[in-house]
Amino acid sequence: MENNQNIIEVNELQTSFFVGGKEVKAVDGVTFSVPSGKTLGLVGESGSGKSITSLSIMRLIAEPGKVKGGEIKFNGENLLDKSEGKMRRIRGNQISMIFQEPMTSLNPVFTVGDQIAEAVMIHQGLSKKEALKKALEMLELVGIPSPKARLKNYPHELSGGMRQRVMIAIALACRPELLIADEPTTALDVTIQAQILRLMRNLQDELGMSVILITHDLGVVAETCDYVAVMYSGKIVEYADVNSLFANPKHPYTVGLLKSLPRHDIDQEGELSTIKGMVPTPDDMPKGCRFAPRCPFARDMCRESLPHLEEEENGNQVRCWIHTDKWDGPEVNVKHDYESAASQQS
Amino acid sequence: MLVYIIRRLLQTIPVLLGVTILVFSMMHLIPGDPAQIIAGESASETQVEQMRERLGLNEPLVVQYGKFLGGVIQGDLGNSIRSGNPVSAEIGARIMVTIELAVYSTILSIFLGLIAGIVSATKRYTFWDTSIMIVALFGLSMPNFWLGLMLIQYFALPPLQWFPVSGWGTPGHIVLPVITLGTAGAAIIARMTRSSMLEVINQDYIRTARAKGVKEKYVIYKHALRNALIPVVTVVGLQFGVLLGGTVLTETVFAINGMGRLVIDAINARDFPIVQGSVLVIALLFVLVNLIVDLSYRFLNKRIELD
Ligand SMILES: Nc1ncnc2c1ncn2[C@@H]1O[C@H](COP(=O)(O)OP(=O)(O)OP(=O)(O)O)[C@@H](O)[C@H]1O
Ligand SMILES: [Mg+2]
């Protein structure tokens, strides 16, 4: 069945942190949507605002941060207009989140069973006993061996991979419509990563939910996602279905990311191998395109003014002067010319 | 669990043995002849000799210690030199007062300290936080005897006269000394709770709780507090121990006949058996409090394996 309704639509989302009298625009006009039942990959270097985007959707931005503007339409209703009480009934129930750090994301003083049961008790009003039965089912579902015994374990008695499975069990206990997974596997070793991703994919099929998968790893995106949003410095620079993105990337940053793919798991902090320079800091945010200082194709117009996110006929979007009529430079094929242009970059 | 408690109790034996040696040596470490000191400056040679005989000081040290230890094991701490009554009876008459004082003061400290600390942490950098922390700083820096005197001045003397000036026995007697003793502890616990809560509130698992849809109230009082209490328990234990041994000034200010006054009076009168017995009993209590603290640790923090 063709279903092109979007479960969530984020429009011009703006989230800032106010530190030392200054405003840090962590998320600066982010727009994307996730079609029902599909998986959106949200990719970008460290600090580009992926986690802050997802926490904004959950309305879990804490002081000194603040969602300043935009809208987040979930099933057609703007989450930013909801009262805290209404929002709480959505969290962990209709929208769930899994975090990057399985080692620290579970409360050390409660048993695994209690922590899964809590979500069910809150949202489905089950008794403790029924909730624990449900917790047991969830542990089975996420493939934890001898689940009955594990129910009574404390988090420190489990490995990182097991804890992430528990996190997934908590997130899925109430059968959410949307799961946001913020780098669910970065902290785990490679074999476990594959297991967890496979588990998530199977559960998605089983429960028919939509997923936003945040990751550094384009390899993971290729395997799991239907759509991809590439973030750079608080903005979406490219949004495309996964096939188009890999076959025909439009934004120079996306191309740079793709070129650096083989090294993804070694070097996350430092410079990406084929993108020169560093992510801009809030203090010297470029006036024009945020990527201009690192872009091998950048011209004066790129440094002067910020391009819009332009939609193409197929619904894909890109934020780059090259793909507009205003482009005043020579004809470029971003994908083909990237390498040679990059090698001439000083 | 039971095994652990028994083992811990057995472990206290060497500690207490050490205390008996220290306490026993007190009498022999003081400069000069204890018999002379106890009998007084003006005592005659025969009086001093009698005193020496009475204290058993003519026997070899090892024998003296053996006798002392033998007595302690049977619960016999000797007799007071001054009154001639058994030391255990003298202590028995006073210890409950001190324990009551310490327990009530600690309860007050915990109650006030936790509330203040939690409010401070959850309303960080607001008017409430700043006010609470300033008050706590005052509470910490006020000497007990001065606070006691001020409380008497304003609440026990005319015009208010809400509470008795001194003594012990009715509920009214408890209020002012307990406030005096509990204030510093409350301040320490408030500061500890605040910093501990602030640390815990930024932990990933708190975010997880919120992401599950847990009400903010339960995020704070269930998920955060339980973790934040772990370091606070240590402070409470230490505080209680200090109160057991250190209520002397407050007991003096309020003329309460507790352990503190017993020990001070005994020291002034060179009543060594009383001093020895009191130190021993307080040490024993201290050790027990420590055990309780360790057990609550176990209860609060599942990561600690006791065995
Ligand atoms: N508590 C905070 N105070 C101030 N600035 C913050 C805070 N949290 C985030 N930021 C800002 O928001 C930016 C985006 O952070 P975010 O955590 O969303 O990045 P990310 O894309 O998830 O990176 P990573 O891949 O490392 O997880 C950061 O670069 C930082 O400048
Ligand atoms: Mg992140």
Would you list the domain boundaries of chain A? 6-231, 250-343
Is there a contact between A220 and A197 (Cβ–Cβ < 8 Å)?
yes
pLDDT recorded at residue A2: 39
Which alpha helices (DSSP H) does chain B contain, by range?
A: 2-29, 34-39, 45-55, 61-73, 87-122, 127-141, 144-151, 171-201, 204-211, 216-218, 225-245, 248-253, 259-268, 272-300
Statement: residue A273 has pLDDT above 60: no
Residues within 5 Å of ion ligand 2, judged at the Cβ atom: A 51
Contact list in B for residue A99 (CB cut-off 8 A) is 204, 207-208, 211
- Rounded to an integer, what distance in angstroms lies between the CA atom of residue A122 and that of residue A113? 14
Distance CA B139, CA B35 (A): 45
Query: What percentage of chain A carries pLDDT values higher than 90?
Result: 55
CB neighbour list of residue A154: distance below 8 Å, 6 or more residues apart: A108, A109, A110, A111, A112, B302, B303
Residue of higher predicted confidence among B149 and A57: A57
- Specify the range with the lowest mean pLDDT, choosing from A24-38, A57-71, A321-335, B190-204: A321-335
- CATH H superfamily, domain A6-231: P-loop containing nucleotide triphosphate hydrolases (3.40.50.300)
Number of neighbouring beta carbons within 10 Å of residue A259: 18
Instruction: State yes or no: pLDDT of A269 exceeds 80.
Output: no
pTM of the predicted model, to two decimals?
0.81
A87-101, pLDDT tens digit by residue?
999 999 999 999 988
Asked if the C-beta of A291 comes within 8 angstroms of chain B's C-beta atoms, the answer is: no
Range name among A188-192, A242-246, B198-202 with the lowest pLDDT average: A188-192
What is the Cα Rg of chain A in Å?
Answer: 21
Report in angstroms the alpha-carbon separations of B304 from A154, A166, B293, B307.
Answer: 11, 22, 13, 9
Q: What is the pLDDT of residue A261?
A: 67
Ligand 1, atom 16, lies closest to the CA of A49
B208-230: b (≥16 Cβ within 10 Å) or e: bbbbbbbeeeebbebbbbbbbbb
Whether residue A210 is predicted with pLDDT greater than 90 in this model: the reply is: yes
What would the pLDDT profile of A147-161 be if each residue is shown by its tens digit?
Answer: 999 999 999 999 988
Domain spans, chain B: 15-76, 94-300
Residue pLDDT, tens place only, A1-31: 334 589 999 999 999 999 888 888 999 999 9
For residue B228, the chain A residues in CB contact (below 8 A) are: none
Percent of chain B with pLDDT over 70: 96
Put simply, the answer to whether A99 touches B209 (Cβ < 8 Å) is no
**Chain B: residue nearest A176 by CA?**
B212
- CB contact under 8 Å between A101 and B204, yes or no, is yes
For residue B306, what pLDDT band results from cuts at 50, 70 and 90?
very low
Q: Which of the four pLDDT bands, split at 50, 70 and 90, describes residue B246? A: low
Which chain B residues contact residue A96 at CB under 8 A? Answer: 211
Residue B53 burial (CB count, 10 A): 11
Q: pLDDT (tens digit, 9 = 90+) per residue, A213-246?
A: 999 888 889 989 999 999 999 999 999 999 999 9
Cβ pair A222, A246 in contact under 8 A: yes
Using a CB–CB cutoff of 8 Å, tell me whether A156 touches chain B.
yes
B305 band by pLDDT with thresholds 50, 70 and 90 = low
Asked if B302's CB is within 8 angstroms of A107's CB, the reply is no
Section B289-300 average pLDDT: 82
* ipTM entry: 0.86
Q: How confident is the model at residue A185 (pLDDT cuts 50, 70, 90)?
A: confident
Query: What average pLDDT is seen over chain A?
Result: 88
The pLDDT of residue A3 is: 45
Q: Report the pLDDT value the prediction gives residue A274, as an integer from 0 to 100.
A: 65
Interchain CB distance below 8 Å, A93 and B213 = yes
Residues of B in contact with A117 (CB under 8 A): none
How large is the average pLDDT for residues B147-156? Answer: 88
pLDDT at A193: 82
Q: What is the pLDDT of residue B207?
A: 94
Residues with CB under 6 A from ligand 1: A 17, 19, 24, 26, 44, 46-52, 65, 282
User: Residues 85-104, chain A: which have Cβ within 8 Å of B?
Assistant: 88-93, 96-97, 99, 101, 104
User: How far is Cα A166 from Cα A102, in angstroms, rounded to an integer?
Assistant: 9
Predicted local distance difference test score (pLDDT) of residue B193: 95
A199-221: average pLDDT = 89
**Are B303 and A108 a contacting pair at CB < 8 A?**
yes
For residue A116, how far is the Cα from the chain centroid? 23
Residues B77-88 pLDDT 10s: 888 877 888 988
pLDDT for the residue numbered B300: 78
Q: Which CATH superfamily is domain B94-300 in?
A: MetI-like (1.10.3720.10)
pLDDT at A1: 37
The residue ranking higher by pLDDT, A346 or B18, is B18
CB A52 within 8 A of CB A26: yes
The answer to whether A61 faces chain B, any CB pair under 8 Å, is no
